[in-house]
Amino acid sequence: MTAKALLEGGPDDLKERIVPITPPGLELKIPHRGGYEHFKVTSRHQDTDQGRVTVYEWWERTEVAE
pLDDT of 1 reads 67
Query: CA-to-CA distance for 16 and 38, rounded, in angstroms?
Result: 14
Alpha carbon 56 to its chain centroid, in Å, reads 6
For 13-41, how does the pLDDT look when each residue is reduced to its tens digit (9 = 90+)? 999 999 999 776 789 999 999 999 999 99
Strand order in 4-8's β-sheet? 18-20, 4-8, 51-63, 35-48, 27-32
Using 50, 70 and 90 to split pLDDT, how confident is the model at 63?
Answer: very high
